[in-house]
Each structure stands twice: as structure tokens, then as C-alpha cells.
Structure 1
Amino acid sequence: MAWFLGLGIAGLVLLVLALVLDGVLEGVLDGVGGGLDGFLSLPVIAGFVSALGFAGAITMGVTGTGAGVATGAGTVAGGVVAWLTGRFSRALMRDEAAVPRGDDLTGSPGRVVTAIPAGGYGEVLLRLAGQPVKYAAKASAPVPRGAEVWVESVLSPTSVAVRPVER
């Protein structure tokens, strides 16, 4: 049973090292099997080894069976944990997350921080993904500092066209 507990602890230590060193170990091991990208990553290996060890120790302790049965149960548990870790890692790494884009500003409210002259540029404070962001702003009529505005369109990555809010 001590061997299985040792494997479980070694898997946890490997997982902690993979998280703390964040890619340094994977950079060192780039030449191994085409790199450790995808399903063969350090968190997946660490999860497999840890689950194999702990499931094997639990199987031996609870059922009183030999090392062969405990190894089989640990391998099955390790395979499940490795598969789940790989799927979870891929889900976290996907680029399909809701990343805010400049076009998302159209129709959003903001406040003027630097007065906007007619036909010229001033500055507005807008919220993009909950974060305050300052943009250059252009309006067809003068807008005083502190006025509430709506974004009509995005002119560039750093400037917007606004109109004052009428109440």
C-alpha cells in the first residue's frame, strides 16, 4: 500500500510543480514525444499518476485484495481522471470565450471626461467588460464635461462617435 500512496503523493507534487512553474517543465520536455501538448500534458500525467496511486491504496485498504487488483482499479481511475483533466484543460484553453470587442461598445453609455467640441475630439469614459476604459470621442455638437453620452459607432480601436443622452 505504501507504493500506491507514494504514487499518489508524487502525482500531487507533479501537479503542484506544473501549476507553479507554469509551462517551464513543459518547455524543458518539448522534445519528448513531439512535446507535451494536448492530451499528454503535465496536469494530465499528474492526475493519472495521483489517481492511480490513491485509488490503488484505497482498493487495497478497503477490499484487502492484492497489488494486481489494486493496480487495475487504480489504472481505471487514473484513466478517467486523465481524460477528465484533458477535457477540462481543452475547455479552458478554447478561444471561443466571450472576449469583448470594440464593436460591443455601440449603444453603451458613458461619461465625458474631456469636453467634446463640435466636429472635434474629446474623451469619454466607457465600460468594456466591466472595466473603465477611456476613448477619444467625436460628436456632431459640442458636449460638456460630465455629460452622459451614448456610443453611436466605433470609429477606430481607440475612438468612438457619441451623442448626448436627452432626458
Structure 2
Amino acid sequence: MAWFLGLGIVGLVLLVLCLVFDGVLDGLGGAMDGFLSLPVIAGFVSALGFTGAITMGAAGTGAGVATSAGVAVGGVVGWGTWRLSRALLRDGTAPAPRGEDLTGTSGTVVTAIPAGGYGEVLVYLAGQPVKYAAKAAIPVARGTEVWVESVPSVTSISVRPVER
């Protein structure tokens, strides 16, 4: 039973190494695409060791039965770890926000906009406040809520006051 507990502890140490060194040994799997990654090996060894110890201690079985049970449970845990890590690595992100996404949103004038000239408007792009140079057909006072009509360049927008 001491061997099985030792294997379980070694698996936990491997898991800590996996967290500390984060993927340093992941390239050892080669063609197996992460199946022999450190988290998978740590999960397998821990499950094998602790399942073997529990089987021997609780059921009073021999080393052969405990090893078989440990390998079976370790295989399931290793496979589950591999599938979970593949799912997490495949998780895509949303596309980066672009200035064109501002069209139709509202903002607040922070620097007055003269007729035909530029002022500044605070708008929210992907939840973050961003100041843009803003142009309007009519003069717009500071603090006025405006709608973004278009995005003529990367740093400027065309706005109109919100009518209520």
C-alpha cells in the first residue's frame, strides 16, 4: 500500500510542477498531440496511486487487483484531463473590437464640437471608455449625448445630438 500512496504523492508533485513550469514538457508528446502532457501524466499517476491504495486498504485486495483498478481509474482520469485541456486550448476568443462597431452607439461630448470642426466624444468600445475626435454638422455643447453616425477614420467619428 505504501507504493500506491507514493505514486499518488508523486502524481500530485507532478501536478504542482505542471502548474509551476506551465507547459515546458508538453512538447514531449510529439505526434500524440498533448496526450503525454504533464497534466495527463500527473492525473494518471495520482489516480493510479490513490485508487490502488484505497482498493488495498478498504477492500483488502492484493496488489494485482489494486493495480488493475488503479490503471483503469488512472486511464479515465488521464483521458478526462486530455479532453479538458484540448477543450480549453480550442476555446476561441471573440473578434477584436473595431472602430466600425461604434456606428449606432451613443456617447457624451467632452470637448464642445463647433459647426464643421472637431471636438471630443467619449464612447464605449467593448466596454472600455475611448475618446475620439468628433465632427458634427451643427455645434454641439459639452455634456450633450450624441449618436455615432459613421466612422470616417481610425481616430475620428461623425456624430449627431440625441433628440428626446
TM-score for the superposition, normalised by structure 1: 0.75
Q: CA deviation at 1:146?
A: 2.3
Structure 2 gaps, min length 5: none
Q: What does the per-residue CA deviation read over 1:36-59, in whole Å, with 9 as the maximum and x for residues that have no partner?
A: 853332222222222222222222
* Alignment match, 1:134: 131
Pick the aligned partner of 2:50 from 54, 76, 81: 54
Distance in 2, matches of 1:74 and 1:140, equals 75
Moved over 6 A (4+): none
- In the alignment, structure 1 residue 75 sits paired with structure 2 residue 39: no
- Is the contact between residue 6 and residue 49 of structure 2 (CA under 8 Å) also seen in structure 1? yes
Q: Tell me which moved more, 36-45 or 80-89.
A: 36-45
Within a 5 Å distance, the mapping from 1:141-160 to structure 2 comes to: 141-156=138-153, 158-160=155-157
Mapping 1:1-167, distance limit 5 Å: 1-23=1-23, 25-26=24-25, 30=27, 32-34=28-30, 37-102=33-98, 103-156=100-153, 158-167=155-164
Contact preservation (8 Å) 1:100, 1:128: no
Look up the equivalent residue of 1:4 and give its one-letter code: F
Q: Percent identity?
A: 74
Change (3 A) 1:71 1:160: farther
Letter in 2 for 1:127: Y
| Cα pair 2:109 2:143 within 8 Å, conserved | yes
Secondary structure in 1 matching 2:141: coil
**Whole-angstrom distance in 1 between the partners of 2:7 and 2:19:** 18
Deviates more, 1:135-144 or 1:61-70: 135-144
Amino acid at match of 1:149: V
Corresponding residue pairs, total: 163
Q: What's the CA shift string for 1:125-160, capped at 9, x where partnerless?
A: 333443333344444433333222233344455544
Q: TM-score, normalised by structure 2?
A: 0.76
CA distance in 2, matches of 1:46, 1:80: 13
For 2:160 and 2:33, the matched residues in 1 are separated by: 49
| Aligned 8 A contact 2:97 2:126 in 1 | no
